[in-house]
Amino acid sequence: MTTRPVIVVEDDPFPRMLKAFLDPTIEPQRLAALADFFAHDLPDFAGWLANLRAMAGPLYPADVRLVANQDALRAQLPEAGAVVSESLDIGADEIALAPKLKVVQKYGMLLRGIDVAACAARGITVLPLRRRANISCAEHALMLMLALSKKLHRLHGKISIAQLQAAGYQPKMFDSGYTPGSGWPRVPGLSILYGTTLGIIGFGEIGREIALRAHAFGMRVICTQRTPMSDAEQREWHVEYRERDALLQESDWLCIQLPANAGTRNYLDHAQFAQMKPGAKLINVSRAQVMNRDALLAALRSGQLGGFALDPQYEEPGRADDELLGFENVILTPHVAAMPRQNGLNDFEDLVRGVAGCLK
């Protein structure tokens, strides 16, 4: 009788899917929920799952054990051949508990919390994963910045004199005998990203992906996080570290990339909005709850905030009468920044190939 390999997986919304993919004891309702979750991008979930299991080699069938915290992780390590972690620590103490451990898969590209040297000393492979959903969120953030700077949400489809006039503009052709023809819609307040300063609050996986793209646009990028960054890290990511208050005062654009928890709720409040550079624009593709809604609305009404874009919203689903929809300088999208689902599916395929290769 073949013993199934023990894979210990952090019980986080995405990594926990591995139990459904690789463990044949999974309950049918979980598989049905996942089929629904992927359906709009992957109609044939059953076919995809069969292909994944066929390529999984020694990983299917597996005994996948979900762990919610550090103590639960330690309890399962004595039998673990592989660990998949998003935020749990794998240090010398954990390695000492895991005589069978061959591979640690980080569900992300930053190896925080993993003692790479201690793993190497024991012959344990450490695998990072640059998640496509994080890349997609960064692309979405840049798209929102570009849309606000070019007023795309106001100008889309408005190509006639009548349409532009109805939108509040005063279009008029120029004298082409003396001037170029561009700009005849006479839309004021258009801008470019080049040469402006982007401040990123929370320099994790998505914050770094945003920084890479902003640098490519010729933006100056500053950032803040709980712990100061080394000079080497700043050079690697083309950023300058700032304390929060200084960052708020310097930024023309602000991206806040924080998880929603008790410590980050209302992180941006009336006092922080007042510190921002007048007319700065704010982008949030993390969680709405990190901004105090009343403070946000007040900053938009006063003009202290020159533009705002958000994905996801304060409520899901959102409301058609949301007051934020009444501002001309606001763009709202319905929790689609990480899409398509194929991002996660491709990530899982890469993860399974990598871990399987270490267990052969």
- 63 lies in the same domain as 198: no
At 3 the pLDDT is 86
CATH number at residue 249: 3.40.50.720
Task: Reduce the secondary structure of the chain to three states and give it as a string.
Answer: CCCCCEEEEECCCCCCHHHHHHCCCCCHHHHHHHHHHHCCCCCCHHHHHHHHHHHCHHHCCCEEEEECCHHHHHHHHHHCCEEEECCCCECHHHHHCCCCCCEEEECCCCCCCECHHHHHHCCCEEECCCCHHHHHHHHHHHHHHHHHHHCHHHHCCCCCHHHHHHCCCCCCCCCCCCCCCCCCCCCCCCCCCCCCEEEEECCCHHHHHHHHHHHHCCCEEEEECCCCCCHHHHHHHCCEECCHHHHHHHCCEEEECCCCCCCCCCCECHHHHHHCCCCEEEEECCCHHHECHHHHHHHHHHCCEEEEEECCCCCCCCCCCCHHHHCCCEEECCCCCCCCCHHHHHHHHHHHHHHHHHHC
- 121 lies in the same domain as 211: no
In a domain, 40, yes or no: yes
In a domain, 324, yes or no: yes
- 220 lies in the same domain as 145: yes
- 95 lies in the same domain as 145: no
- 98 lies in the same domain as 140: no
- 120 lies in the same domain as 259: no
pLDDT band at residue 353 using 50, 70 and 90 as cut-offs: very high
- 110 lies in the same domain as 147: no
Is pLDDT above 80 for 103?
yes
- 207 lies in the same domain as 87: no
Domain range for 76: 6-129
pLDDT tens string 289-334: 999 999 999 999 999 999 999 999 999 999 999 999 999 999 999 9
In a domain, 343, yes or no: no
At 1 the pLDDT is 38
- 109 lies in the same domain as 140: no
In a domain, 168, yes or no: no
pTM above 0.75, yes or no: yes
Question: What is the count of structural domains for the chain?
Answer: 2
At 336 the pLDDT is 97
pLDDT tens string 140-170: 999 999 999 999 999 999 999 999 999 999 9
- 286 lies in the same domain as 142: yes
- 104 lies in the same domain as 233: no
pLDDT tens string 31-71: 999 999 999 999 999 999 999 999 999 999 999 999 999 99
- 193 lies in the same domain as 283: yes
